[in-house]
Amino acid sequence: MEIKIALFINLLLYAFVISQSFFYILGLTAATRNMQVNTYIESRKLLDQRLSKSLSSVYYLALISGIALTTFCVVNPSGLLFICSIVSLGALIADVTLAVRGNIPLNKAISSWTNTSYPSNWNDYRKKWFRFHTTRQVVNIIGFTTLLAGFVFGM
């Protein structure tokens, strides 16, 4: 029963994490890439202010639930759910690492800009931000899909 509860919680929290990826895939990436500098600065600041605390809480809880799930599943180390939980947890850790090393420092730099004071190569910052974020999206989708496959085929 512990495995089912941990799996349910982990799937739910991972769904919140991956919803960010789907939102960017469905439209925010294209919209953001077409923004002029002032709109880009303002939108990044607003998104970061609203998401930084709530999203970090979701990530912490997803990591904790992923660790719990993997711990509960270790009783069957050759089982599909255990293997999928490890891959999923690894993907979540990779996502956090990419965010901490890439997106978060870039967000901090961008948040220091104003509409009249920003670097002339601001678009390079945006491109770099998207490279990190796109990698994170791929990692997230792999992690979530693997966890979902473990749920469907490994229970």
Read off the pLDDT of residues 101-148 as tens digits, 9 standing for 90 and up.
999 999 999 999 999 999 999 999 999 999 999 999 999 999 999 999
Instruction: With a cut of 80, say whether residue 155 has pLDDT above it.
Output: no
Instruction: With a cut of 90, say whether residue 1 has pLDDT above it.
Output: no
Dist CA 31 CA 2 (whole Å): 43
Instruction: With a cut of 80, say whether residue 10 has pLDDT above it.
Output: yes
- Rounded to 5°, angle at Cα 118 from 104 and 99: 10
In the chain, the amino acid numbered 43 is S
Q: How far apart are the first and last CA of the chain?
A: 11
Which of the 8 DSSP states describes residue 124?
H
pLDDT score for 154: 85
pLDDT score for 103: 95
Instruction: With a cut of 90, say whether residue 44 has pLDDT above it.
Output: yes
Arithmetic mean of pLDDT, 38-56: 91
- Give alpha helix (H) positions in the chain: 2-23, 29-33, 37-73, 80-98, 104-111, 122-154
- Rounded to 5°, angle at Cα 26 from 25 and 32: 75
pLDDT score for 53: 84
Q: What are phi and psi of 35, to 5 degrees?
A: -75, 145
CB 9 within 8 A of CB 147: no
